[in-house]
């Protein structure tokens, strides 16, 4: 499972010109589910995102988590993060999980965040979305939780 986490002042997502998710200060999370991922990886990544210390505190620039600052989270499904680009110029998405598997684990990830965070918003899985954000910093962190090899 892969994510790109951005610290934002605000973020929103539109589907069919309708706002389906909006947050103030917090984290914008782009999430990709890869083949072989399970509930275990989804829960581990949700825990990692919620505990990631990338907000300023009193003595350090990166001291507090989104939970510590009572920030919002906007989660966007983005299978393109699973792209392989080693060969040629066209991305290969063969590592992305199937739509049904990805949607189920996307929901497990959201549940994991909702268990510890007050404001968790999301886009619409599989929809064409327009995401807007104002990055804070900017701070952008890639995260990956690997599934055990079978």
**Alpha carbon distances (Å) from 91 to 9, 16, 80, 147:** 31, 26, 8, 22
Select from 6, 115, 120 the least CA-distant residue to 71. 120
Q: Which of 80, 109, 124, 150 is catalytic?
A: 80
- Exactly one of 79, 93, 125, 150 is catalytic; name it: 79
Q: Catalytic annotation on 79?
A: yes
CB 144 within 8 A of CB 32: no
Q: In the annotation, is 80 catalytic? A: yes
Catalytic residue check, 121: no
DSSP 41-74: HHHHHHHHHHH---B--SS-SS-B-TTTTT-EEE
From the candidates 6, 78, 109, 121, which is the catalytic residue? 78
Residues acting as catalytic residues: 78-80
């Amino acid at each position: 499972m892969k994510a790109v986490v951005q610290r934002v002042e605000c973020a929103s997502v539109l589907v069919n010109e309708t706002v389906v998710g909006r947050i103030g200060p917090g984290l914008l999370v782009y999430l990709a589910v890869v083949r072989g991922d399970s509930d275990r990886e989804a829960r581990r990544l949700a825990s990692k995102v919620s505990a990631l210390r990338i907000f300023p505190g009193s003595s350090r620039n990166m001291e507090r988590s989104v939970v510590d600052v009572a920030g919002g989270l906007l989660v966007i499904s983005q299978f393109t993060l699973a792209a392989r680009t080693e060969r040629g110029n066209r991305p290969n998405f063969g590592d992305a999980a199937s739509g049904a598997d990805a949607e189920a684990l996307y929901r497990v990830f959201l549940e994991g965040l909702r268990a510890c965070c007050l404001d968790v918003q999301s886009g619409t899985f599989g929809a064409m979305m327009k995401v807007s954000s104002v990055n804070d910093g900017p701070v952008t962190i890639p995260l990956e939780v690997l599934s055990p090899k079978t």
